[in-house]
């Protein structure tokens, strides 16, 4: 066993040694500014394309929606009477998650309501933003761009990579938990 540990340590130490040719390879790698110069225009193009797809969806369904500064489109179609949800509060939502082709990915009727701490728990950032636009009892439709949803990876199950998602949300509960 000691032999294997010694061999492992020797391998690690030898691989960490700087070789002059390694420095040459590092110097030939593009720097952050060069990478950004190439990536930013392609990201802008992708965001514009995604925005066009969202606009077509909204027009096709004849929705009247508002837009947040981050790009979420939304409409509250049933108004509740409660307080607005705030960061740091626990909320419980009923939801349906679908794609722009109207295929349903997830539904709380099968999966059960979702409860999370606004601004803290592992939920898409677009959903954190969405519930903060809602009052207790509200029902709303939220079109969330891919960069605020599952991103370039998707969820590796039902939501494909770089997908715009549509959340139909009912805000069921707001509470402060210790």
Query: Whole-model pTM?
Result: 0.78
> Backbone phi, then psi, for 24, in 5-degree steps?
-65, -40
- The CATH number of the domain holding residue 125 is 3.10.50.40
C-alpha span between 104 and 19 (Å, rounded): 54
The whole-number average pLDDT for the span 158-162 is: 93
Domain coverage including residue 85: 65-175
C-alpha span between 126 and 145 (Å, rounded): 8
List the beta strands (DSSP E) in the chain: 66-67, 73-78, 90-99, 104-107, 114-117, 139-144, 165-175
8 A C-beta contact, residue 163 and residue 99: yes
| 139 found inside a domain | yes
- Flag the least confident range among 29-33, 93-97, 164-168: 29-33
Give the angle subtended at the CA of 43 by the CAs of 98 and 40, to the nearest 5°. 160
| 59 found inside a domain | no
Residue pLDDT, tens place only, 37-75: 778 888 888 889 999 999 999 999 999 999 999 999 999
> For residue 11, with 0-12 CB atoms within 10 Å meaning exposed, 13-18 middle and 19 or more buried, which class applies?
exposed
More confident residue, 150 or 6: 150
Nearest CA-CA partner of 161 in 68, 76, 50: 50
| 7 found inside a domain | no
| 99 found inside a domain | yes
| 89 found inside a domain | yes
| 156 found inside a domain | yes
| 56 found inside a domain | no
Domains identified in the chain, total number: 1
More confident residue, 74 or 31: 74
| 2 found inside a domain | no
């Amino acid at each position: 066993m000691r032999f294997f540990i010694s061999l492992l340590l020797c391998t690690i130490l030898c691989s960490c040694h700087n070789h002059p040719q390694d420095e040459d390879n590092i110097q030939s790698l593009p720097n952050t500014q060069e990478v950004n110069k190439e990536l930013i225009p392609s990201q802008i193009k992708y965001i514009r394309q995604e925005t066009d797809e969202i606009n077509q969806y909204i027009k096709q369904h004849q929705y009247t929606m508002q837009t947040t500064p981050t790009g979420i489109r939304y409409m509250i179609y049933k108004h509740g009477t409660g307080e607005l949800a705030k960061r740091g509060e626990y909320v419980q939502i009923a939801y349906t998650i679908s794609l722009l082709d109207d295929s349903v990915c997830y539904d709380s009727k099968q999966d059960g309501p979702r409860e999370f701490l606004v601004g803290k728990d592992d939920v898409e950032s677009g959903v954190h933003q969405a519930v903060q636009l809602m009052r207790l009892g509200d029902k709303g439709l939220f079109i969330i761009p891919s960069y605020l949803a599952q991103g370039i990876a998707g969820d590796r199950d039902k939501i494909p990579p770089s997908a715009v998602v549509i959340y139909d949300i009912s805000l069921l509960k707001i509470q402060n938990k210790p």
